[in-house]
Structure 1
Amino acid sequence: MKLLRVGEPGAEIPAVLDGDGTVFGITDVTADVDVAFLASGGVDRVREALAAGTLPRLEVEGRRIGAPVSRPGKVVCVGLNYRDHAEETGAAVPERPVVFMKDASTVVGPYDPVRIPRGSVKTDWEVELAVVIGTQARYLASPAEAAGHIAGYAISNDVSEREFQLEYSAQWDLGKSCETFNPLGPWLVTPDEAGDPQALGLRLSVNGEVRQDGDTKNMIFDVAYLVWYLSQYMVLRPGDVINTGTPAGVALGLPGTPYLRAGDVVELSIDGLGTQRQTLINA
């Protein structure tokens, strides 16, 4: 099952996409795909309503698609989680997950413009598998427990400003939390439909040129391990988003490759999770 949100920012309508590609509104089930919806078993209620055939069709042609989750509590990111990405940036392959936080307000729709920050000369791209938490995860006993706490998966573009990130501070936050720096979606795909999260191809192109072409099987720390690991240090709550890292092919790791400029177009895809497309504009 694929959940999505349709409409202008702040006025999105929750919806579901069935296996035939038909979109149905779910406002009779929930006001939004948000923390309350996920925490109260909303996904199961939508599945039941879809099976019962009681949901109205929703026309989405020409309408904006928002992020599939409204107002996530936090966005937790994992850096250097693909060996080839660590190597291309000159970083050591980590022995433990590299964890940092991203301002949750950076989350925007999958086709919304991305704003290049004022003063930026190194705005970069990162296609990532995003994990959306469905039920609270706190001190999980093992990675085997992680699956029961995952609502689904989505595409995430962990946009980064490398000068801000690596040269302005010992922390990465300055280069990660600029406005619009986390396009998410187009869908929240439930685990039963997404399949094995460690067998998904992920790709990104800039102006039609392929920059990243990887596979989640090459993660250093897999999804289950990351959910378990993070639960030892923070409470993961419904609606929280985990960005699980990016494969090789970012501008930082490709000497001579230009960073993003206004007018550039970035396109992303992950097997079974849809596609994104953003045009860069100046802040």
Structure 2
Amino acid sequence: MSDVKELHRRWCIADGHADSLMWNRDLCERSTEGHVDFPRLREAGVKLQCFTLVTRGFPFIGGFPLFAAWRKWPSEARGGEWSRALWQIERLDAFCARSGDTVRVATTGAGLEDNLANGRLSAVLGVEGGHAIEGQVERLEELHRRGVRFMGLTHLSNNDLGGSSFPMMGNRGLTPLGHQVMEEMARLGLSVDVAHASEQTLTDLFAHPTVRYFCSHTGVREAGGGWRNLSDAALRTIARRGGVVGIILAPVYLGGDTWDDVVRHVEHAVDVMGEEG
């Protein structure tokens, strides 16, 4: 364990995905719920944590409004996807302001380097599902202005941008609006997170000549595990564009619940993509 702690102290340990904001917990305080809060991230030596804005859930069992009521979201934040996204951004900003300058939102490479040099945790904002903009492409500019630096076009269900990898969603591709959103993201410098994209949406994304993409949390299909793991071909395409892939620590996608399962997926990804992927 001491070797692990030393490794985390010396390296820039980054976690590509956490849905912590949706659970309406105080991230400045240690919690026995969930896996992520500022005290535990600091203890683990994490230097960069991506926080995603979740605005729509599974397309059944009451959907997101029921979840938001259960987690005691304020009424003004429950109505639509856009208001839900803005409320979570405001929550993270408030947590950072209360952190005693130990956590800052990083929006540039220079900001990340400054945080590293001064021992701060960098928070990077992303959106899990482009339905958050409610069909209004101009809202991407506001998200960028407010610190968001990546977005997945889809999440757990198909939307007006493209297809989800969730079972029974029918392998839809990018819609005309999805292509328009992708163009605007490329213009703004927003990266596309492909974690929940259907196979056809992936194919359409990969055909774009300039958009930047990566995968924040996934397993590797050839190493076993769940339904939305990436193929070797997808891994190679992401690597060729300079993107990275984060391996998810979830048994359903790893095909097991041991560290050997994690290592199997990491090693396969490295074999396919190279160490920089």
TM category (shorter chain) comes to under 0.3
Larger strand proportion, structure 1 or 2? 1
Q: TM-score, normalised by structure 2?
A: 0.26
Q: TM-score, normalised by structure 1?
A: 0.26
If asked which structure has higher relative contact order (CA below 8 Å, sep 6+), I would say 1
Larger helix proportion, structure 1 or 2? 2
